[in-house]
Amino acid sequence: MNASHNAILTLNSGSSSLKFGVFSNSGSDEELLLSGSAQGIGRSDGTLHIQSADGTTLLQREAIHESQPEALQAIAASLQDYLHEDTIAVGHRIVHGGPHLREHQRITPQLLQTLDAAIHLAPLHIPSALQLVRQSQEIFSSAIHIACFDTAFHRTMPPVAAHLPLPSHYFEEGVMRYGFHGLSYESIVHHLGSGLPERTVMAHLGNGSSVTAVFRGQSIDTSMGLTPTGGVVMGTRTGDLDPGVLLYLMRKEALDADALESLVNRRSGLAGYSNGESDMRALLQRRAAGDTGAALAIDAFCTSVRKTIGAYAALMRGIDLLIFTGGIGEHSDDVRNTICDGLSFLGLTPDRIAIVPAQEELQMARHCRTILQ
């Protein structure tokens, strides 16, 4: 397959995966040429998959990748068999850019320095992002590299949503509500276009989950905060938690920052309720078999999302449309129905509830094309 000379590569890294897409401009919008992913990074059961735009598998093999840069090297080498032109740009999804990087933009040495200075705000995300960017700059040395920030969509939040209830100097230091999953929400706004109603609540539900109030196409509040740990209950993350719990654990069990970080990000949420299981499909199966821990996990997840939807209905004085996206949001009828049960008083009839697939890579390609112009 030959890619045209204006191909754009997008990279979307997760905790143990690296997804990519290759796009070409068709005139009215970006057209997908190839997509794929390296899964199971850092594990012995890793895979590398590449498929064409119509879903035909071009490459599927077992592959052990110790790190994101190693996975990128393997993807780049494999793409040479299917793309015979250099890409003109590489778009990078960056989860957290800190307080000074809230707009999609070209990656410069200054941007990398600014990102490096913000590591303390997102130690789980920024170091790996920097490592991947620098590796891709070496591999795709002739391409323009562009940062697409997951926090950018939420920069429209008013002060009452962005400010945390702390002394004001912390806000000035960058301690604020940033919000995440922004590229997913942007793609939905773009997809609906003029069909997007005034008052919309969007729920991106997956291993990481968030809910956002979108008023007239702009984010005015969102459940995640300074980091993607806050908000609704998630696969392995606590969501919102009484800070007194952390103080208690520090005093009672002498947990330090690293131990607390591991607890609230990797061993809590659905996994905490169910004694280790974070996958919603497995939890639904276990609940059907009578597992009370799994039943509690699912109930807690759905309840936290439902409560947030209700809060945003109060914020916007009603909801015109509720949208589900993300792996759980798109594919689990059971979870969606449980969340929506009891929301009829808001007028949320089935015709006002929609499922819209997240298209983060496509949205990144759109941003890259715009910035290149």
Active site residues: 150
C-alpha 92/C-alpha 368 separation (Å) is: 9
Strand order in the sheet with 199-204: 218-222, 210-215, 199-204, 321-325, 353-355
Burial class (CB in 10 A: 0-12, 13-18, 19+), 267: middle
Question: Which amino acid type is present at position 10?
Answer: T
As a whole number of angstroms, the distance between CA 319 and CA 282 comes to 32
The answer for 255, left when phi > 0, alpha when psi is -120 to 50, beta otherwise, is: beta
Residue type, 316: M
Which residues pair with residue 20 across a beta bridge? 11, 36
Give the C-alpha separation, 34 to 9, whole Å: 9
C-alpha to C-alpha distances, 316 to 221, 311, 319, nearest whole angstrom: 10, 9, 7
φ, ψ of residue 43 to 5 degrees: the values are -120, 170
SS3 at position 171: helix
Q: Which amino acid is at 341?
A: D
Residue found by looking up tokens 């303390």 in the block: 120
Whose tokens are 């093999």? That residue is 61
DSSP 166: S
